[in-house]
Chains A and B, each alone.
Chain A
Amino acid sequence: MTSTLDSQDRSDGDRAIFRAYQLEFWPGIIAYAVLLTGVLLWGDLDGQSPWRFAWAVVPVLPALWIVRAVLRHVRRIDDYQRLLLLQALGGGFAVAMIAAVTMAFLEIAGLRVEGVGWIVYGAGMLGWIITGTIAGRR
């Protein structure tokens, strides 16, 4: 019989940490999405204006806010959660590096792929998510 002591509910502390992270993370994501959309729609990135380079890096500003939110979250979580996060980040980093090197060699071999940066980004994120899920379930 399952006892109420076997409850898998998150603790009040877990909820407080998660809430603090969400409050800091989401404004950055929303600002990033808004700026990215604006830049893609009105930034004239494939035009000739020299300003297009400045517009292209504008979404980095809210991305820095997201980095700040993640770093503050890392400081709030405990040692075990930090270990899991480190494993997940390590997995994501490894996948991103392998993807980057693979794409570089394919390019040397003469294969031109559009949006290589996005492929590496996607591979890294996927590696982070998969490694994090596996590490959390072990």
Chain B
Amino acid sequence: MKNQLKTLREAHGWTQGALADRLGVSRQTVNALETGRYDPALPLAFRIARLFGQPIELIFMPPDEPEEGQNP
């Protein structure tokens, strides 16, 4: 699954470690999420959405869907 996590994190000026502490996960997990190696379970996806104040579907999208702001 593709996601906007890195973009959102950098927009907030946070390191992976800082985001990890806010989400209650490890930095390794944040890295795996950002690189698409790991898709979060729903509770973590909701925590991410709540932290960035955005709906889950704007942060995470299926691999065949264009990213936000891109033309199909």
A contacts, CB < 8 Å to B? 3-14, 17, 77-81, 83, 136, 138
> Can you report 25 residue pairs joining A to B where beta carbons are below 8 Å apart?
A5-B10, A5-B14, A6-B15, A7-B15, A8-B16, A9-B27, A10-B26, A11-B16, A11-B17, A11-B18, A11-B27, A12-B17, A13-B21, A13-B25, A13-B26, A14-B20, A14-B26, A14-B28, A78-B26, A79-B29, A80-B29, A80-B32, A81-B26, A81-B29, A136-B28
Count, chain B residues at interface, CB 8 A: 23
* A9-B15, A14-B17, A78-B29 known, 12 other contacts, Cβ within 8 Å: A5-B10, A5-B15, A5-B16, A8-B16, A10-B27, A11-B17, A12-B17, A17-B26, A78-B44, A79-B40, A81-B28, A81-B29
Contact A13 B20 (CB under 8 A): yes
B contacts, CB < 8 Å to A? 9-10, 13-18, 20-21, 24-29, 32-33, 37-38, 40-41, 44
Contact B21 A11 (CB under 8 A): yes
A6 to chain B, nearest CB (A): 8
Contact B15 A79 (CB under 8 A): no
B27 / chain A contacts, CB cutoff of 8 Å: 8-11, 14
For A5, A80, A81, A83, the residue with the greatest tally of chain B CB atoms inside 10 Å of its CB is A80
A83 / chain B contacts, CB cutoff of 8 Å: 38
A78 / chain B contacts, CB cutoff of 8 Å: 24-26, 29, 44
Do A11 and B32 form a contact, CB below 8 Å, given A80-B25, A81-B26? no
